[in-house]
């Protein structure tokens, strides 16, 4: 996010503030390392853009689910959100393990002995 915003400020120094909302919209609708977008985790369904709606209409792919009661809708939504969050958590654990394996390939074991000056740690209180 910071890198995108920085690039936006450089390219549009006087108008960058006009692009914040579209930038946030894009970031919230694109899947992240968990495999899900922020929108999907929040609302329990994939985000549908105007393009995807037009595509569905042109291919006659309409989603007309059976009417539900408000209570049934809320229960289904809650279940979908919980299931999506569980799957996202599993994907994040996989990503963390992959990142750990990558880090461990290049990491070196360092032993610090009392009196070492090159490895001294300064504490700020």
- What does pLDDT average to over the chain? 81
Q: Where are the domains of the chain?
A: 31-104
Q: How does pLDDT run across 23-73, given as a tens digit for each residue?
A: 888 888 888 877 888 888 888 778 887 787 778 777 776 666 677 788 888
The secondary structure of 36-97, three-state, reads: CCHHHHHHCCCCCCHHHHHHHHHCCCCCCCCCCCHHHHHHHHHHHHHHHHHHHHHHHHHHHH
Average confidence (pLDDT) over 94-109: 90
CB 10 within 8 A of CB 46: no
Kindly indicate the confidence band of residue 121, based on its pLDDT and cuts at 50, 70 and 90: low
Residue 113, sorted as left (phi over 0), alpha (psi -120 to 50) or beta, turns out to be beta
CB 49 within 8 A of CB 37: no
SS3 for 109? coil
**117 DSSP assignment:** S
Kindly indicate the confidence band of residue 98, based on its pLDDT and cuts at 50, 70 and 90: very high
CB 41 within 8 A of CB 88: yes
Q: What angle do CA 48, 49, 53 make, to 5 degrees?
A: 75
Q: What pLDDT does residue 57 have?
A: 77
């Amino acid at each position: 996010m910071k890198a995108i915003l920085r690039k936006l400020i450089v390219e549009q120094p006087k108008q960058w503030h006009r692009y914040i909302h579209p930038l946030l919209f894009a970031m919230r609708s694109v899947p992240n390392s968990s495999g899900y977008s922020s929108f999907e985790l929040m609302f329990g369904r994939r985000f549908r853009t105007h393009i995807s709606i037009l595509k569905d209409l042109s291919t006659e792919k309409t989603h007309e689910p059976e009417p539900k009661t408000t209570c049934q809708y809320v229960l289904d939504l809650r279940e979908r959100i919980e299931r999506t969050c569980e799957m996202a958590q599993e994907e994040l654990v996989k990503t963390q393990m992959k990142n750990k394996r990558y880090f461990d390939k290049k990491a070196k074991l360092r032993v610090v002995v009392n009196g070492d000056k090159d490895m001294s740690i300064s504490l700020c209180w």
